[in-house]
Structure 1
Amino acid sequence: MIGIVIANWNGEKLIDKCLLSLKNQSFKDFKVYIIDNDSKDNSINVIKGYKEKLNIELIEMDHNSGFAPANNIGIKKAINEGCNYVLTLNNDVEVPNDSLEKAMNFIENNKEYDVLQLFMINYFERNKCDAAGLVFNEKLIPSQVGYREEVSEVLSKEISIEGACAGAAIYSAKALEKVKLDNGDYFDSKFFAYYEDVDLSLRLKRAGFKTTVLKESIVYHMHSATGNKTSGFKEYYLARNLFMYTKRNQSLEKYKKAKKTYYIILIINLLKNFNMEVLKSVFKGIKDGNKEAKKIEYKEFN
């Protein structure tokens, strides 16, 4: 059985399409773990409406715990209930009815892979790729493979990836258990949101687990459907978490040498979305990120 973990926050207009697509899957051996982050809309009623159609466990939080903590709750439950694989899925994703079956068939015949990226296509522009996985440069800055490229062009290429976007990614329980943090987190709960899948991808890579993209297992993703690009929220966490994940996943010497590059990246991004709220958020993110990074140590995986 595979566990499907979905974090939801005020997603009533999104999660209905997501759950309907799961109900229509040809592959049926899965359980859905939905962690609702104290939604104030009609999300809970929408989810409960699927309880007789899907094997769903709904966990209702009394606060917005964030993407990373919510996923950790679902992943832990799935693994404790015997799921050998966990699919993390955004609530703004629609899954064609044969995608899970194709994914599980691939897994059955390719046991050497422990991380599998479902091929993400833009929901609104279905000729455009959203993500086919992650690659990293020497300073651990990620790039989304295929982003905004023509789907046909991306699929025609041989794709080699080093990590997965958690919006639609399958992880083996074995791999997740191997790289979990000392406090039991799979995604670092301190991240709240953004870069948590980058951090996990780098830990999995360093531990020797192989990642691949499943070209035939597609999902349609409403990119940034729940985000606000100019409020300062996203910019704060991108700035803060950048210093945290890069500190954890490279030696102190390399981290110190790369920090200048990180500041340059943040300044460039700031200029693209400049307003006073974003400015204050980025500078607060830098301050908090450096503070948190001091507590993080590089750890080898044996």
Structure 2
Amino acid sequence: MLGVVIANWNGEKILDKCLESFKLQEFTDYKLYIVDNGSKDKSLNIIRSYEELLNIELIELKENSGFAKANNLGIKKAIGDGCEYILTINNDTELEKDCLSNVMKNIEENKNEFDVYQLFMINFFDRHLCDATGITWDHRLLPSQLGYKQEIESITEKNNDLKGVCAGAAVYSAKSLKAVELENGDYFDSKFFAYYEDVDLSIRLFRKGFKAKLIKNAIIYHIHSATGVKTNGFKEYYMNRNMLVYTKRNLSEKQYNKYKYVYYKIIIANMKNNLNNPKVLKSLYRALIDGIKLAKETKSEVDI
């Protein structure tokens, strides 16, 4: 059985489309673990309306615990139920009807070589454009999202730069997740709350030798940042703060001390670009202060 984990927070406007596409899947041996982050809208009513149509386990949280913790809860449930593979998927997505069947076929054909898989994410509104085919990073661990806004015809099966996967539509083997489990039992680091938790996990998996593969015929349409807020500083805070944390964990002390000023400059540059937006500017300042503090508390897992 495939475990599918969906973290939801106030997703009433997008959940129907997502769950309806699961109802239409050709492959049916899956279970949905929907973790609701204390939604205040009609999300729970929508989810419950599908309980007789889909194999759903609803996990209700009293407050918004963040993307990372919600996914961890769902993953632990799935692994506990014996799922060998877990698909994490955003609630703002729609799957082609053969998506899961193509996922399982690819896993069966490639499981001796790969443990992590990226579904082919396409822009929901402009379906000739790619949204993501995975992630990569440079020597400073600064990440980039592969395929973003590229014409889908330009995306080839071979993607030699694929090092990790975007958790908005990614499959992880239970074996690989257990191998990189943090001391507190997290897979995604819960203190990240949101953003870059998939980069951190991907780097840890990559360091352990787990390889990632793009499944180009497993197509999913994504409404980019549908549940995120772009203008009030939320996204900017967590992206910039978390950058200082995941780099500290995944570089040696020597490497981090060498590159940390590059990260500081990135945050300061972001502050300069938002001088006319006081909310974002304040959030970026807090991100720098909090990020430095959290980085000091984060132990490097690399000995070089």
The TM tier, using the shorter chain, reads over 0.9
Partner of 1:251: 252
Task: Describe the superposition over 1:257-290 as per-residue Cα deviations: whole angstroms up to 9, x where unpaired.
Answer: 1112112222333344441111110111111111
**How far, CA to CA, are the matches of 2:171 and 2:270 in structure 1?**
30
What SS does structure 2 have at the residue aligned with 1:268? helix
**How far, CA to CA, are the matches of 1:199 and 1:164 in structure 2?**
10
Would the aligned equivalents of 2:159 and 2:214 in 1 still touch at CA under 8 Å? no
Partner of 1:46: 46
Cα RMSD (Å) of the superposition?
Answer: 1.3
What SS does structure 1 have at the residue aligned with 2:297? coil
Partner of 1:63: 63
Per-residue deviation at 1:181? 0.3
What SS does structure 1 have at the residue aligned with 2:289? helix
Q: Which deviates more from structure 2 when the two are superposed, residues 220-229 or residues 270-279?
A: 270-279
In structure 2, relative to structure 1, the CA distance for the partners of 1:157 and 1:211 (3 Å cut) is closer
Q: Does 1:291 align with 2:293?
A: yes
Would the aligned equivalents of 1:252 and 1:298 in 2 still touch at CA under 8 Å? yes
Partner of 1:33: 33
Partner of 2:224: 223
Task: Describe the superposition over 1:34-55 as per-residue Cα deviations: whole angstroms up to 9, x where unpaired.
Answer: 0001111110010001001100
**How far, CA to CA, are the matches of 1:139 and 1:294 in structure 2?**
18
Letter in 2 for 1:212: K
**How far, CA to CA, are the matches of 1:273 and 1:85 in structure 2?**
42
What SS does structure 2 have at the residue aligned with 1:17? helix
In structure 2, relative to structure 1, the CA distance for the partners of 1:159 and 1:278 (3 Å cut) is same
In structure 2, relative to structure 1, the CA distance for the partners of 1:273 and 1:150 (3 Å cut) is farther
Q: Which deviates more from structure 2 when the two are superposed, residues 292-301 or residues 101-110?
A: 292-301
Would the aligned equivalents of 1:5 and 1:75 in 2 still touch at CA under 8 Å? yes
Task: Describe the superposition over 1:152-189 as per-residue Cα deviations: whole angstroms up to 9, x where unpaired.
Answer: 11237645300000000000000000001000000000
Would the aligned equivalents of 2:3 and 2:83 in 1 still touch at CA under 8 Å? yes
Per-residue deviation at 1:213? 0.6
Partner of 2:6: 6
Q: Does 1:116 align with 2:117?
A: yes
Partner of 1:233: 234
Structure 2: unaligned runs, 5 residues or longer: none
**How far, CA to CA, are the matches of 2:84 and 2:158 in structure 1?**
30
In structure 2, relative to structure 1, the CA distance for the partners of 1:154 and 1:43 (3 Å cut) is same
**What is the TM-score of this pair, normalised by structure 2?**
0.96
**How far, CA to CA, are the matches of 1:120 and 1:269 in structure 2?**
27
**How far, CA to CA, are the matches of 2:125 and 2:226 in structure 1?**
11
**How far, CA to CA, are the matches of 1:156 and 1:37 in structure 2?**
36
**How far, CA to CA, are the matches of 1:238 and 1:177 in structure 2?**
26
**How far, CA to CA, are the matches of 1:155 and 1:269 in structure 2?**
33
Per-residue deviation at 1:299? 2.0
**What is the TM-score of this pair, normalised by structure 1?**
0.97
1:71-82 correspondence to structure 2 within 5 Å: 71-82=71-82
What SS does structure 1 have at the residue aligned with 2:170? strand
Letter in 1 for 2:279: E
Partner of 1:91: 91
Letter in 2 for 1:295: E
Per-residue deviation at 1:255? 0.7
Per-residue deviation at 1:15? 1.0
**How far, CA to CA, are the matches of 2:104 and 2:235 in structure 1?**
34
Letter in 2 for 1:187: F
Per-residue deviation at 1:222? 0.1
1:173-212 correspondence to structure 2 within 5 Å: 173-212=174-213
**How far, CA to CA, are the matches of 2:38 and 2:165 in structure 1?**
27
Letter in 2 for 1:98: D
Would the aligned equivalents of 1:133 and 1:213 in 2 still touch at CA under 8 Å? yes
State the identity %.
Answer: 58
Partner of 1:268: 269
Would the aligned equivalents of 1:230 and 1:273 in 2 still touch at CA under 8 Å? no
